[in-house]
Chains A and B, each alone.
Chain A
Amino acid sequence: MEGRSVGVVTPEKISFEAPLALDCGRTLPRYELMVETYGTLNAARSNAVLICHALSGDHHVAGIYSSDDKKPGWWDNCIGPGKPIDTTRFFVVALNNLGGCKGSTGPNTINPETGKPWGPDFPLLTVSDWVRSQAALADHFGIAAWAAVVGGSLGGMQVQAWAIEYPARIRHALIIASAPELSAQNIAFNEIARQAILSDPEFHGGHFYEHGVVPSRGLKLARMLGHITYLSDAAMRAKFGAELKAATPSFNFDVEFEVESYLRHQGQSFVDRFDANTYLLMTKALDYFDPARDNGGDLVQAYAKATAQFLVIAFSSDWRFSPARSREIVQALVAAGKDVSYVEIESELGHDDFLMPIPQYHRVLKNYLDRVAGETA
């Protein structure tokens, strides 16, 4: 299942002038979303697929920005001509979510009221807020209903919210490596990540832009912690073992072990590309997601509103969003009488596996989406 690249792509900034009411009670008078699309919307506008990104993702999902660009979009292995999400059959829409830091309105963009970056004054968002803004994006393209909405991790939460909140606008819901709500352990990891950022002296209460600094130590620590939870113990062992970089211990706190070097590199490269306020906002959106809480504590009741058909996929080595959590989703969907399939992919890496081209994973996606494409024809 090789498939080709979508090639050189160009992002587009789309402005929305209608105000967006947010769950926190505030309203964004206007906002912009950075968007990439691949493939062609058919005449019936029935072949559109929305990709929802996870914590640190963005609108650049597939393709490259120039012929010598070495780094394709974050899910390039899955999206393109002949790939599981086949751009010769689907019109694929990807965006940087509101509150993101890759061009959509968010903490690092200018607040028109003050003329300065929003920073900590940017409202905290929920998954439902994102889905409302994505519905406005669907309206922009004249898409009445998505053929499918697809997302992993936090993206899978957006897929669930789509199915519950806009049942008439989503035909297939593909929920990958996700959960019906975060576990206490997951919220705890997020809280440590936030404390790392909040306690960095260069955070300046979120107004660090004006001081010409970034809370790089805090953001780096947050990312290092995250990375540990995205990998399985076995994967880390296989990748790094307990190898010293030098022949003998140096008895200090410099980088000595391969895994330390890896984590520091991951942390540092993240600081260079991500915004600390966005990281805080994204982790809070994860923590707040709980469709059962919004429906009297009953997940079955929450899903009862859905009319989409569901595909739920989990990865055996993922402990941050374990298969058991995906099975909770499936169990509730079955109890609600919904059409659902569940696949557990044998995997080794951990949570990060949802981005990997594992043959069985891509085959299941392809088999499922072939059928979806058949319905849109």
Chain B
Amino acid sequence: MTPFPVPHPPSPASLRPDLALIAEWIEPGQRLLDLGCGDGALLAHLAQHKQVRGYGLEIDAENVAACIARGVNVIQADLDEGLSDFGDAAFDVVVMTQALQALQRPDEAVEEMLRVGKTVIVTFPNFGHWRVRSALLRGAMPVTPSLPEQWFNTPNIHLCTVKDFEALCRQRHWKITDKALLNHAREGGWMSRAFPNLFAEVALFELQPMRPTFAL
């Protein structure tokens, strides 16, 4: 759209594995909204490699400054305030990585994402992972590689398991169109596939709104 050439800074050699997987799910040229976009690594990568155009929403001042430095469109906003600034189906894809569990109302957030996007990708740490369970069996709140904070300073206030999330999808009629379950190396090992609720540390879900179908 802009008539002037805009050089993109090189993205880091290795994208975080869950972001790399998301990048594979996204089609070239799509219009993307990245909720809780951090330092803009995913958007910068997608702009460079897939001509994806989009915006990141981010609340943290450091991250916002980092996005601006790398030329990513970033809008400083609080995800808990919703997406009322954006129109229905305004984006091809709405992504939220590792932020759902830190929101006041994750269910309302997903509803909003499904309103604004034609496709939604969410990732979250699986609270059903064996490390979490074993910590709780020992009687202590878990501190794991994907949940590194202590109970008193964690931003994560709405943790769930893979099973919980799938139950919510069924209850709200959110259509799961793809999913990936990653182990501690953030790779899809066979154990995460066979026993996802026990061995997946990070879950990725692709959802689509259930458009009403009318029978004639």
Contact = CB atoms under 8 A, between A and B. Distances in A.
Interface of A: 168, 171, 307-309, 311, 327, 330-331, 334-335, 337-344, 346, 360, 363-364, 367-368, 370-371, 374-375
B7 A367 contact: no
B65 A342 contact: no
A341 B68 contact: yes
B74 interface: yes
B7 A307 contact: no
A42 to B, nearest CB: 16
Contacts of B22: none
Nearest to A365: B68
A360 B65 contact: yes
B87 to A, nearest CB: 6
Contacts of A307: 1-3
Contacts of B31: 337
Query: Which 8 A-B pairs rank lowest in CB-CB distance, beginning with the nearest?
Result: A367-B69, A342-B75, A367-B68, A331-B85, A341-B74, A344-B76, A343-B76, A368-B68
A337 B90 CA distance: 10
A108 B90 CA distance: 51
B73 A341 contact: yes
B86 interface: yes
30 contacts: A171-B2, A171-B4, A307-B2, A307-B3, A309-B2, A309-B6, A330-B75, A330-B85, A331-B85, A331-B86, A334-B85, A334-B90, A337-B31, A337-B53, A340-B73, A341-B73, A342-B75, A342-B76, A344-B76, A346-B61, A360-B61, A360-B65, A363-B65, A364-B64, A367-B68, A368-B68, A370-B69, A371-B69, A374-B7, A375-B6
Interface of B: 1-7, 31, 53, 55, 61, 64-65, 67-69, 71-77, 85-87, 90
Given A330-B75, A330-B85, A346-B61, A339 B2 contact: yes
Contacts of A171: 2, 4
Given A307-B1, A334-B55, A364-B64, A341 B7 contact: no
A335 B89 CA distance: 11
Contacts of A308: 2
Contact of B65 (A168, A331, A367, A371): A367
Contacts of A327: 85
Given A327-B85, A337-B1, A342-B75, 6 more contacts: A307-B2, A334-B86, A338-B1, A342-B77, A343-B76, A374-B7
Which of B1, B73, B74 has the most C-beta atoms of chain A within 10 angstroms of its own C-beta?
B73
Contact of A371 (B1, B71, B73, B77): B71
Contacts of A344: 76
Contacts of B68: 311, 341, 343, 364, 367-368, 371
A375 B75 contact: no
A340 B1 CA distance: 13
Nearest to A168: B3
Given A344-B76, A364-B64, A375 B3 contact: no
B73 A339 contact: yes
A248 B72 CA distance: 58
Contacts of B73: 339-341
Contacts of A342: 74-77
B64 A375 contact: no
B6 to A, nearest CB: 7
Given A330-B75, A341-B75, A375 B5 contact: yes
Contacts of A343: 64, 68, 74, 76
A308 B4 CA distance: 9
A375 B87 contact: no
Contacts of B6: 309, 375
A5 to B, nearest CB: 25
A232 to B, nearest CB: 19
A331 B64 CA distance: 18
B45 to A, nearest CB: 17
B1 A341 contact: no
A200 to B, nearest CB: 43
A343 B68 CA distance: 10
A309 B47 CA distance: 15
A357 to B, nearest CB: 15
Contacts of B71: 371
A298 to B, nearest CB: 13
B41 to A, nearest CB: 16
Nearest to A369: B68
A95 to B, nearest CB: 24
